[in-house]
Amino acid sequence: MSIWDKLKTELIDIIEWTDDTNNTMVWRFPRHDNEIKTGAKLTVRESQQAVFVNEGRIADVYNPGLYTLTTQNMPILTTLMGWKYGFDSPFKAEVYFVNTKNFTDQKWGTKNPIMLRDAEFGPVRLRAFGTFAIKIVDAGKFVKEITGTKAHFTTEEVAEQLRNLIITRFTDALGESKIPILDLASNYDELSKFISGKINPEFNDYGLEVTKFLVENISLPPEVEQMIDKRSSMGILGNLNQYTQFQAANAMEQAAKNPGSDAASGMGMGMGFAMAQQMGQIMNQQNQQSQQANQAPPPVPGIASSFFIAINGQQQGPFNIQNLQQMMQQGSFTRETLVWKQGMVSWLKAGDVPELQAVLGAVPPPLPPQ
C-alpha cells in the first residue's frame, strides 16, 4: 500500500454518536464548517436516527445501520445540491443524531389546585401528580418543530411545555368524568389510559408519543382530609354520643397527666366536673333510649266505621256509630234507612247490616198491629 493510499484511508470520515447521558434527545455532530468528506461512513446505532439538514432544510433521515454516503443513498440531499453526476469533493451538511429511546420517569403535577364540583362534598380543590414516558417517533418533525438549530437538546428543555399540556388535558378529563372523589383511587388506571389517548394526538404534532402515562395520587387539601378523617372516626365509633364520651375521656386523661397545669387547677376541676356531668347526661339518655326500645309499642287504635245514609232521597254523611245512635234516638234513623259505606256493593237497609245491629238493638222494634 502506497503512502497516499494509507493516508487516504486514515482520512476516511466517520460520523457517529455514542450517548453517555440519560436526557439527551438531540445532538448535532460537530464539524468545522460542517464539511463531510466523500465516502464518509455514517453509523446510526439502535434507538437513534440521523437527520441531514442542508441550508436550513431537512434532507435525508437515516434509521439504524452503517452507511457509506454516496449520491445513491442521499437522494434528497443530492437533489437539493444539484449533483447530477455524483460528487468527489467534500460537501456541507448539518447532521443531527436523534435519540429515539423511551425517556422514562418524567414528572408531572398540578402547580395550583384544580377546582371541581363533587356530588357529595360540593366544590372542592384537588391536587394531582404522576409520571409519564415519551419517545421521538418522527425525527424530522421533532428537529423542525422543537429543536431548531440547537446543537444539544435535552428533556428538561421540552418537559415544561409537555407538562403544561398534560395538566390542561388532565383537568378537562377529570371534570368531564364526574367520578366521585371517594371513587377516584379505584379509577387511576382508567384515567391514565383515557388521558394518554387524549394527549397523544397533540404530542404527535411535535414528533413525540406518550408511551406511558400514570396517575400516582390525587389528594384533597389537608383541612378537608382532616374532616374526612373525623367523619370516618365517627362512623367507626358508631354514633355521636359515643364519640363525645371518647373525646371527654381523652380530655380528662390529658388533664391527669399535667397536674401543674390549669386543667388540674380550679378551672381544670370545673371542666372535669362539667365533662363528668355531660357524660352522666349522655349515659342517662342512652339508658332511657334502651328502656324505650325494650318496651312494646301500644296497639294501633281501631278505625270507626263511617256510613252514608239516605234521607228523603238525599245522600247525607258520612256518620260514625255515635252519630247514628243520636239520630236513632231522635227518630231520624231507623231499621228501614238505606245505608252505605266503603266496601259495600250497594245500598242496604240498616237492619240488614250486621255491623249496625248493636246500634239498632238499643231501640225496640215497632209494635205489631192490634
Domain ranges of the chain: 3-99, 103-220, 307-360
Give the CA diameter of the chain: 169
pLDDT in tens, the chain (370 residues): 455 444 444 444 789 999 888 899 999 998 777 678 778 899 999 999 999 988 778 888 999 999 988 766 676 676 666 555 455 556 778 899 999 999 999 999 988 888 888 888 888 889 999 999 999 999 999 998 888 888 899 999 888 889 999 999 888 888 888 888 888 888 888 888 888 888 999 999 999 999 999 999 888 888 888 887 777 766 665 555 666 666 777 777 777 777 665 545 544 555 555 555 665 665 666 666 656 555 545 444 444 578 999 888 888 888 888 888 888 888 888 888 999 998 888 899 988 888 888 778 765 666 666 6
Q: Please answer whether residues 312 and 295 qualify as being in contact, where contact means their C-beta atoms are separated by less than 8 angstroms.
A: no
Consecutive H or E run containing 177: helix 156-177
Q: Please answer whether residues 40 and 13 qualify as being in contact, where contact means their C-beta atoms are separated by less than 8 angstroms.
A: yes
pLDDT the model gives residue 51: 93
Q: How far apart are CA 31 and CA 181, in angstroms?
A: 57
Long-range contact list for 226-232, CB < 8 A, 24+ apart?
A: none
CATH 3.30.1490 fits 307-360, yes or no: yes
Q: How far apart are CA 318 and CA 306, in angstroms?
A: 5
Spatial CA neighbour of 105 closest among 177, 54, 58, 156? 156
> Cα 84 to the chain's mean position, in Å?
62
In degrees, to the nearest 5, what angle opens at C-alpha 44 toward C-alphas 42 and 46? 165
Spatial CA neighbour of 130 closest among 200, 196, 228, 177? 196
Q: Please answer whether residues 261 and 255 qualify as being in contact, where contact means their C-beta atoms are separated by less than 8 angstroms.
A: yes
Q: Please answer whether residues 26 and 99 qualify as being in contact, where contact means their C-beta atoms are separated by less than 8 angstroms.
A: yes
Give the pTM. 0.55
Task: For residue 49, give Cα distances in angstroms to 18, 28, 139, 203, 320.
Answer: 12, 12, 7, 19, 101
Q: How far apart are CA 34 and CA 90, in angstroms?
A: 10
**Cell numbers linked to 136:** 421521538
pLDDT the model gives residue 104: 92
Q: Which CATH class is domain 103-220?
A: alpha beta
Task: For residue 118, give Cα distances in angstroms to 115, 129, 134, 179, 279.
Answer: 10, 20, 32, 8, 37
**Cell numbers linked to 142:** 421533532
Q: Please answer whether residues 94 and 143 qualify as being in contact, where contact means their C-beta atoms are separated by less than 8 angstroms.
A: no
Query: How confident is the model over 33-89, as pLDDT tens digits?
Result: 767 877 889 999 999 999 998 877 888 899 999 998 876 667 667 666 655 545 555
Q: Based on the number of CB atoms within 10 Å of its own CB, is 124 exposed (0-12), middle (13-18) or buried (19 or more)? A: middle
Q: How far apart are CA 283 and CA 276, in angstroms?
A: 10
Task: For residue 297, give Cα distances in angstroms to 11, 201, 289, 290, 300.
Answer: 109, 69, 14, 14, 9
pLDDT the model gives residue 303: 46
pLDDT the model gives residue 190: 87
Amino acid present at 52: F
> Which residues neighbour 326 within 8 Å (Cβ) at sequence distance 6 or greater?
none
